[in-house]
Structure 1
Amino acid sequence: METATTVLEQELLKKANEVTALLAEGKFIEAMEEYLDDNVQLFEGNNPAKIGKDFCLAEEKKLLDTVVAFHGYKVISGPAVKNDVTFYEAVMEFRTNDGTEHKFEQVVRTKWENGKIINERYYHA
């Protein structure tokens, strides 16, 4: 039996789609500036959290400074929503200035509060 989505869930799906649209264009900084809460916690797999919007932005800029070719960010499935959490599966590919080609297949779990991302974890393969 399917359950109807709530107004909150519909709004979060809209926001998740807005985020992934920016990421697909390579606009990672813009997405973070717009959607991260000031006290966000971001997790890469089982690594310790990166805490705070400013810190997360600084870390992302360091990574992006090494990227010489962006091949894409494609959502494979989702986003899906339950209560205040969204999920989606994506593939991101890029080359860094050391010549390494990177391909991240990931599931992204995002917890939202007041329209902002407060906690996000990236599960990589």
Structure 2
Amino acid sequence: MEDQIKKNLKHVHELLAKGAFIEAMETYLHDEVELREANGAPKKGKKFNVDFEHDFINNQLEEFVRYDVKNLAVNGNHSFYTAEMELKLKDGSTMLSEQAVATEWKDGKIYRERYYHA
């Protein structure tokens, strides 16, 4: 199980590194996924989350700059990594996010994921 999660994460990170957020989500989100930003309420369901990301990309994102993974650990059906993401937004601002990402996997897909930001 851990080897499969590591393989899937490697591919997820390759997609994120080139800004292919929707492709990563379509490929690796479980249909019943719950994604949560820090202490926010979970966003439930693959379709809802993909639609939410499409909306962000279409309405706020001007340019993808980078997504760099720093550390990675896998234990059982859980993974944890740290990353930095930089985006340029349509309002002229730059979004630089340092995050820790904690993930629970189910059937080779991201089932629950939580992002802790700095």
**TM-score, with structure 1 as normaliser:** 0.91
Match of 1:70 among 42, 64, 69: 64
> Alpha carbon RMSD of aligned pairs, Å?
0.7
**1:63 CA drift (Å):** 1.0
Question: Highest CA radius of gyration, 1 or 2?
Answer: 1
**Aligned positions of 1:1-125 closer than 5 A:** 8-65=1-58, 66-78=60-72, 80-125=73-118
Identity percentage over the alignment? 44
For structure 1, the residue ranges without an aligned partner over 5 or more in a row are 1-7
| Offset of residue 77 of structure 1 | 1.4
> Structure 1: how far apart are the matches of 2:23 and 2:64?
16
- Structure 1: 4+ residue segments shifted above 4 A: none
Letter aligned with residue 68 of structure 1: E
| Aligned pairs, number | 117
